[in-house]
Amino acid sequence: MIKISDFGVERNSCELENGTEVVVFTKPKAPISILVTFFSGKRFDPEGKEGTTHLLEHMLLAGTEKFPTKDKLATYIENLGGVTGASVGAEGFNIRVEIGDKSDLEDAFIVLSEEINHPLFDDETLEKERKSIYNELASNEANPNRVVHENYIKLMYQELSVVKAVNQTKETVSKITKEDLLDFKKKYICGNRMAVVVAGDVNLDEIKNLTLKYLPLSGGDKVKLYHAKKVREEKVRIKEFASLKDQVRFDLSFRSDCSFLDRETFTLRVLNTVLGGGRASILKKKLRYEKGLVYYVGAGKGEYLDAGSTGVGGETGKDNLDEVLGIIKETLKELKRTGLTKEQLQFAKNKIIKSSKRGMQTSRSWVRRHGYKTLAQKFLIETPKKYKNKSYTVADFYNTIETVTNEDILGVLKKYITSDNWFLSLVGSGIDENKYKASEFNF
């Protein structure tokens, strides 16, 4: 049984009166990483104004009352040997500060307070940041990885709000006003949606007191999230991408309905590791080493609080696509019959646990690993009972992975790898759309 103390880390947490969750991973003598994260990501963008959260993220770090320009903010935090940044995903809106010395801890919270509580939102800067996003979107349109991701999301999560994460365009961003940003901030950047996750040479009382002093956000509305229903009005989605002349980027995936704490999620992680999780995986051997049909292939899972997916993706020549899909299909059908061998099961567990441990060496790694999970536990109504009164940590992850059985593997294969649950995403140039949209895969 792995314990969090095995890493020289102690976890403590509390919930403030405004609903904010404060989680501290105390790691003596370590630098300090602070993440303020809100369940307020792109899925909450107003319809037709996708990009609101993205533009808000830019504006929070573009100038504050104390630091009216970006360079002044940068000078202040870099003088501490620290960094600050922000990011926004489909569900999380994140602001972080990292410092090297505990003596600068209050200064770090001053920076966070300025960014969250006192941004300027001046008109000139707003238009500069809007143009910056236009350039970012243009870059995304030329990036095959981004195009593949967008095509996949729109197919797998039809009619779900998470699709807003890939729906922003120059047109939608152009419609966003300063009032839209302020309204969104007031409604979604609030205490009830917030978690403060900190790792390093600090304790819970210190972080709690600084949060109360510098981030006393109003509570906001209660949030409830339930598992989303699957929509399959479209089973094949093809995106034309001229630069992929003779190649095709493919994803053959399956919707799942498990949350990140469900046992099935851990089981899928083990399955995908054996199926396509690296150089030693089944599909890497069959498709790359034995037949030379792909340069890369991988298996993985998508994960939102209310929906998920699992599947296989890669790139191959257009002339090889049918053969590649056929091999993947037959491999999945065989696994449905046999599951994994004892050796494959143990290999996957070793790979997952030991590689994950290797990455848990910095304060930032502890914050990154637990930030989203803290939000998920807080807002997902169907959190498994065993986690209702205790908090998920990386140690729980390791220990659950270790208990996955071949019966679990066979169970998720039977449940999700079915003839009425597959989705095929293709990105390339000159793909025979009629042919693939008429496809049927029997599992």
Domain ranges of the chain: 4-214, 236-437
Interacting residues of 308 by C-beta distance below 8 A, sequence separation 6+? 255, 256, 257, 258, 259, 265, 301, 302
Of 213, 236, 377, residue with least CA distance to 305: 377
pLDDT at 53 over 70: yes
SS3 content of the chain, % helix, strand, coil (to 5): 50, 20, 30
383 has a pLDDT exceeding 70: no
pLDDT digits (tens, 9 = 90+) for 409-434: 999 999 999 999 999 999 999 999 99
The model's pTM is 0.94
The whole-number pLDDT of residue 133 equals: 97
Place of tokens 């790139």: 315
Mean local confidence (pLDDT), 354-371: 93
Residues present in the chain in total: 443
| CA separation for the pair 181, 131 (Å, rounded) | 16
**Alpha-carbon gap, residue 121 to 360, rounded angstroms:** 37
386 pLDDT above the threshold of 70: no
Question: How do residues 312-326 score in pLDDT, each as one tens digit?
Answer: 999 999 999 999 999
Can you say whether the dihedral through the CA atoms of 39, 43, 49, 50 is positive or negative? positive
159 φ/ψ sector (left φ>0, alpha ψ -120 to 50, else beta): left
Sign of the Cα pseudo-torsion (235, 240, 243, 247, in order): positive
Q: What is the pLDDT of residue 226?
A: 76
Give me the pLDDT at residue 105, please: 98
- The span from the CA of 164 to the CA of 154, in Å, is 9
What's the mean pLDDT in 330-341?
Answer: 97
pLDDT (0 to 100) of residue 380: 67
pLDDT confidence tier of residue 388, bands split at 50, 70 and 90 = low
Categorize the per-residue pLDDT at 306 as very low, low, confident or very high, splitting at 50, 70 and 90: confident
| Sequence-separated (6 or more) residues with CB below 8 Å from residue 376 | 259, 260, 261, 305, 383
- The yes-or-no verdict on residue 222 having pLDDT over 80 is no
347 neighbors 14 (Cβ within 8 angstroms):
no
Check residue 79 and give its pLDDT.
95
Please say if the pLDDT value at position 343 is more than 80: yes
Alpha-carbon torsion (190, 195, 199, 202), positive or negative:
positive
pLDDT digits (tens, 9 = 90+) for 256-297: 987 777 889 999 999 999 999 989 999 999 999 999 999 999
Answer whether residue 389 shows pLDDT above 60: no
Question: In CATH terms, is domain 236-437 a member of 3.30.830.10?
Answer: yes
**Mutual angle of helices 70-78 and 105-117, in 10-degree steps:** 160
Q: Distance (Å, rounded) from C-alpha 199 to C-alpha 371?
A: 11
pLDDT of residue 337: 96
Query: Residues 284, 286, 291, CA angle at the centre, nearest 5°?
Result: 110
The arrangement of strands across the sheet holding 83-88 comes to 10-15, 21-26, 194-200, 32-39, 92-99, 83-88
Given a cut of 90, is residue 62 above it in pLDDT?
yes
Q: Is the pLDDT of residue 220 over 90?
A: no
* Strand (E) or helix (H) holding 92: strand 92-99
Q: What pLDDT was estimated at residue 89?
A: 95
Pick the CATH number of 4-214 from 3.30.830.10, 3.40.630.30, 3.30.1130.10, 3.30.40.230: 3.30.830.10
Q: What is the percent of the chain where pLDDT is above 90?
A: 86
> Which pLDDT tens digit goes with each residue over 86-138?
999 999 999 999 999 999 999 999 999 999 999 999 999 999 999 999 999 99
Alpha helix locations (H) across 170-253? 170-174, 178-188, 204-214
The pairing of strands 236-240 and 422-428 is parallel
User: At residue 96, what is the residue type?
Assistant: R
4-214 shares its CATH topology with 236-437:
yes
Neighbour tally for 313: CB within 10 Å: 20
The lowest-confidence range among 337-351, 357-371, 375-389 is 375-389
Residue 385 has a pLDDT of 65
